[in-house]
Every structure is written in C-alpha cells, then in structure tokens.
Amino acid sequence: MNIGIVCYPTFGGSGVVATELGKALASKGHNVHFITYQQPVRLDIFSENIFYHEVKVSDYPLFDYQPYELVLTSKLVDVVKFEKLDILHVHYAIPHASAAYMAQHILANEGINIPFITTLHGTDITLVGKDASFEPVITFAINESNAVTAVSESLKQDTYEHFDIKRDIHVIPNFICLEEQVFKGCVDNLKKSFAPNDEKVLMHISNFREVKRVQDVIKIFDIVRKQIPAKLIMVGDGPERHKMEELCRELHACDAIKFLGKVKDTERILAASDLFLLPSQTESFGLAALEAMAAKVPVISTNTGGLPEVNKQGFSGFLSNVGDVEDMAKNALSILKDENTLTTFKNNAFAQAQLFDIKKVLPMYEELYLSLINEN
Ligand code: GMT
C-alpha cells in the first residue's frame, strides 16, 4: 500500500506512535509518506520506502497566526496526487482530521478518491478538543472520517461522552517494538552514573505539562528516599520544570534528582532504572508507562483514563487515585523493598508489555487500511 501519515513530529506520544507505526509498515514493504512540518523525532532510519514531505508555512506579514491547516491541506492534495497514495492516516484530530477532510473533497473534485483514518490520541479529545473553540470542527471531522481509531477503550468512551459522535470507533492500542528493546539491555555504566552507591533509580519521562502532575513525582520520590537510598531521574522538559526545581530546593532533594532534558532513545535510559512514576491527572493510554514496562521497569501510576488498560494492579506495578502521593510512595516502597519482589515485578512488567507487541497491533491497522481501500 501507499500510505500517507500525518502527525506532530515532536517528542509527544502521538508523534512517536505515528512514526513507529510508519517505520513498521515500511519494514513490511509498504510505501510510507510522512507529511508534517519537521522531520519526526523518531524517524531515525532511512529506507527506500520511507518518504518525508515537509509542510512549509510562509511568514507573510499580514498573518498574526499562520494558516497551518490550509498549507497542510494543500500539501496533502499534492502528495496524494503525485505519489498516488491509497490512504491517509492522520494522528491527533486537531487540525489533521479537518485538513484531511478538506483535502479529500478537493481531490474528489478532480476525480481522485482517497479514504482517511483519524486516530485519536488523548489530549485532542480530553483537553484541547472539547474546548468550545474547537468542538464543532472536531465533531464534524470525526464523523466524516472514513474510520476512527482510539488508543484505548477509555478514550473511546471519553470521545462519545464529550462529542456527538454517530459512528463506530475502533480501539487499536498503542504498541511497542520488543525486538528492538532486547538489544539495549546492557546499561551497567549508565546505571552506575545515575546511582554510584547502588541506590534504587526512579524515573519519570514526560513533556512536564500540568496534566502530568510532575510535582507529585518529586513528592513521591521525597517520601521514598527517606526510607531507602534512591535517586530520581527526570527525562523531558516543559512548562512545569521551573516549579519542580523550586520544589526540589524546598525539599533539599536536589542532590538526589537529576534532570536530563529531552532524550531521543529513552529505552537505554529506562533500562538503567528500577521504577517508573506516572502520576498523571489524565492519560488516554500512557505510552511512557508501556515503554518503561518493555524495558522491564514496573510502573507506579494513577488509575485514570486508559492507564488501567496498560498497567496491571499488583502485577506490573500499582495504581492509585490522582494526587494520592502517600499511596503511590507506599506502593513504590513495596516493590523496592527487596530484590526478589523487585525482580518479580520487573519480569511481570515485561510480560505485560508483550500484550502490546507491535507484531500484534500492526495487523489491526493493516486490516483497517485494506478494508477502506477495498471499499473505496
Ligand atoms: O501526553 C501528552 O501530553 C502527549 C500526548 C500526545 O498527543 O502526544 O499524549 C497522548 O497520546 C499518547 C499516544 O497515544 C498517549 O499515550 C498519552 O496517554 C496521551 N496523553 C494524554 O492523554 C494526556
């Protein structure tokens, strides 16, 4: 198939999922065309059937806000026509689904029919999308997509709750490429640099936005480190970093906490940690938790959104109510208390990650693509 993928090229989960999906499709022989404004962060391989088309927005002085959606639409029309795409798959509804809808109609005028799939990722529904300034467009674009997928059952239900959706939504969960993980297990030196005295290494990875409740990460860690020798590694960056640093100082915990900034190959870093903390306010799936489990790292998370579909209570980790840092710290300590328990949870986490192996998930997308292409 000739597949067009539209996504945000940044470190966010939706862009990571879109890019990894494209890479996996290409490795199965499909031609994959990424259409976005920047080379996707995870597009780190080159192969003859992966293509990148840049959406270039000019900065004409008349515009206070550049009309990205229109430029993307024009690019979609161009790429579909000249690369003879069979299907478009857009990740994150805003503004990709409405751009795809518009492109589809422009192309139909020229006698070219192309179906498009919208994959909902989370904040496009639970935070941004339901805002009145977007809602009517999102409702329309979801209803007009040829197929809609959501990354969890929870996100599917949220979509029905917040929008007037009159169509089926398929749940296709996020995935992990386990084959690639196995080779990155050798990290002794890295672990030594994080924890020179064999402290337990706790880790958090995110975009440090309010929804991640990153101050809770620090609070949980502060309780844990008072019970056992421990270090906290914070990966990523974002608007809440400043407040976190202030909290670290207030708690006199700076020596035990390291901020690494944005990191591309998180697998290597994860493999050097013992426990992953994800105390989010909401999380449609929690790809970071899955990536941790794939690296054999158990997860302490909240029980919100799609997290219970990913992290299994008492098996791959524990889940607590949002904001209950005491409970999350207690659970963390119960995993870290002795080596046998920790090893059991590490193995369980890896077993849980296997449920989301790309080998199981990729065929779901391929089947959906084929059914739409055949209908077309
Ligand atoms: O978590 C974020 O802020 C980034 C966001 C995104 O759109 O990239 O992540 C969302 O999509 C991920 C991939 O499907 C999910 O794993 C995250 O749970 C989801 N984030 C939220 O729902 C807050």
Whole-number pLDDT of residue 181: 65
Question: 51: which 2 tokens?
Answer: 């293509």
Q: Ligand 1 centroid to 283 CA: how many Å?
A: 6
Q: Is the peptide bond before 95 cis (omega within 30 degrees of 0)?
A: yes
For ligand 1, whether the C-beta of 283 sits within 6 Å is: yes
**CA gap 134, 271 in Å, rounded:** 40
- Domains in the chain, please, with CATH? 2-175+357-375 (3.40.50.2000), 178-354 (3.40.50.2000)
- Residue 29: CB partners within 8 Å, gap ≥ 6? 49
Whole-number pLDDT of residue 55: 95
In ligand 1, the atom with minimum distance to the C-alpha of 207 is: 3
The interface pTM score, or ipTM, of the predicted complex is: 0.95
Bridging pattern class, strands 31-36 and 2-6: parallel
Q: Ligand 1 centroid to 13 CA: how many Å?
A: 5
Whole-number pLDDT of residue 66: 84
Other Cβ atoms closer than 10 A to 186: 9
Looking at the DSSP bridge assignments, the partners of residue 116 are: 88
Whole-number pLDDT of residue 186: 57
For ligand 1, whether the C-beta of 12 sits within 6 Å is: yes
**CA gap 333, 97 in Å, rounded:** 44
H or E segment to which residue 208 belongs: none
- How does pLDDT run along the chain (376 residues), one tens digit per residue? 999 999 999 878 899 999 999 999 999 999 999 999 999 888 877 788 999 999 998 887 788 888 999 999 999 999 999 999 999 999 999 999 999 999 999 999 999 999 999 999 998 888 776 778 889 999 999 999 999 999 999 999 999 999 999 999 999 999 998 887 654 555 778 899 999 999 999 999 999 999 999 999 999 999 999 999 999 999 999 999 999 999 999 999 999 999 999 998 888 899 999 999 999 999 999 999 999 999 999 999 999 999 999 999 999 999 999 999 999 999 999 999 899 999 999 999 999 999 999 999 999 999 999 999 999 8
**CA gap 256, 260 in Å, rounded:** 13
**CA gap 21, 5 in Å, rounded:** 9
Whole-number pLDDT of residue 128: 75
Q: Ligand 1 centroid to 169 CA: how many Å?
A: 18
Side-by-side strand order, sheet with 257-261: 257-261, 230-236, 200-206, 275-278, 299-302, 317-320
Report CA 80 to chain centroid distance, whole Å: 26
Query: What does each C-alpha distance from 132 to 127, 138, 162 come to in angstroms?
Result: 11, 10, 11
Q: Ligand 1 centroid to 168 CA: how many Å?
A: 21
Cα angle: 104, vertex 154, 13; to 5 degrees = 65
Whole-number pLDDT of residue 183: 46
